[in-house]
Amino acid sequence: MSNEPEVKRWTAKRKAELVKDIIKGKRTSKEAARTYDLTPSEIERWAALTLVMDCYAREVLGWSLSKRSNAKSAVAALKDALLTSTDRLDF
């Protein structure tokens, strides 16, 4: 056994907790970067959340979580919104 301090590794669970804190607004990516000795771009590359919202009702209609923010995630969020909120549409 050595007297060296234990090194905390970035496990998926720790990353998920940090990303949830950032999404909830408890932290910013800059604060997390200073705390965990990372660059903000490293943290921002972990996950991209795409939301489709009803701005009037302030309600999330659909969402998609992916590794990159691109057109595929936007289309997936839009499809989710259309599939889950067809009962709210008045045609």
Does 40 share its domain with 54? no
Does 59 share its domain with 80? yes
Task: Give the domain range for residue 34.
Answer: 9-46
| Closest by Cα among 24, 19, 55 to 36 | 19
Residue 2 lies in a domain: no
Can you give the pLDDT at residue 75? Answer: 92
Can you give the pLDDT at residue 86? Answer: 64
**How far out from the chain centre does Cα 38 lie?**
17
Predicted confidence pLDDT, tens digits, the chain (91 residues): 556 555 556 666 677 777 777 777 788 878 877 777 777 777 766 777 888 988 888 888 888 887 777 888 889 989 988 888 766 655 4
* Cα first-last separation, the chain: 70
Can you give the pLDDT at residue 49? Answer: 81
Does 42 share its domain with 52? no
Residue 4 lies in a domain: no
User: What's the structural domain count of the chain?
Assistant: 2
Residue 63 lies in a domain: yes
Does 39 share its domain with 52? no
Q: Say if CB 13 and CB 3 are below 8 A apart.
A: no
Does 90 share its domain with 57? yes
